[in-house]
Amino acid sequence: MTRIRIAPSILSADFTCLARAVTEVAEAGADWIHVDVMDGHFVPNLTFGMPIVAALRRITPLPLDVHLMIEAPERYLEAFARAGADGLIVHVEACPHLHRVIQQIRELGLRAGVALNPATPLSALEEILPDVDQVLIMTVNPGFGGQAFIERMLEKVRRARKMIDALGRPIELEVDGGVGPENALALVEAGATVLVAGAYIFEAPQGQPAEAVQRLRKAIQPQ
Ligand code: DX5
Ligand code: ZN
């Protein structure tokens, strides 16, 4: 059975205690750390870049899943690889030469992922799917943590799973945005293998990040 990976997004973490936040979720069983890089152009928000990836690399052995919400990501692939990223995800909407960008990521020895905004049809994957290790379905419009899950994306995840299964390659299917215990099981049943969660884990009013990771894990246990 595929291990469902939980990937806390540090976007909503307390940046004054980032090391503690990461250690807590790692000890609670998080599988990857999701790192949201935004450039203020592709998305209407700015976050952080290579130095944060490099800092995370020093404090955790967990794979760093770097989500590039930036225009022309090819400018920075090498720098993110050097900083210690394990996987780089680029948006199809930001890459007119997507095939080349994916090859560049693979040549760097990293997992290559493609992300789709909610309004981008799955047909955008058709020609690139055989070349990627990971597909990320945005379940909110990218740019901010803490937004509401777009229900219609559940059906998109189901269709993406069918496309991947038809290809017969072990491609991870990741969902990102508004994920929490209330929709996690439905997403896994629809075929998701990686659950990104930011606000639910790091802004949990009812407890600590570690407990939130455990609750998310519990929500996806087969009954
Ligand atoms: C949104 C980012 C997400 C975000 C998810 O643009 O790509 O990774 O942090 O956060 P939540 O879980 O808060 O929706
Ligand atoms: Zn993300």
Pocket test for ligand 1, best of 140, 174, 183, 195 (most atoms within 8 A of CB): 140
The first and second tokens of residue 203, run together, are 């802004």
| Cα atoms found within 13 Å of the Cα of residue 106, Cβ hemisphere only | 13
Greater confidence (137 vs 221) lies with: 137
* Banded pLDDT at 206 (limits 50, 70, 90): low
Distances in Å between the alpha carbon of 217 and those of 15, 36, 65, 85, 165?
24, 22, 19, 24, 24
Torsion angle (degrees, nearest 10) of CA 147, 150, 154, 159? -110
- Would you state the pLDDT for residue 89? 99
pLDDT at 222 over 80: no
Q: Please state the rounded mean pLDDT for residues 56-63.
A: 98
Ligand 1: list residues with CB < 6 Å. Answer: 9, 11-12, 34, 36, 67, 140, 142-143, 145-147, 176-179, 196-200
The first and second tokens of residue 129, run together, are 């799917």
Residue 109: left (phi > 0), alpha (psi -120 to 50), or beta? left
- Would you state the pLDDT for residue 223? 65
Mean pLDDT across the chain: 97
* Banded pLDDT at 207 (limits 50, 70, 90): low
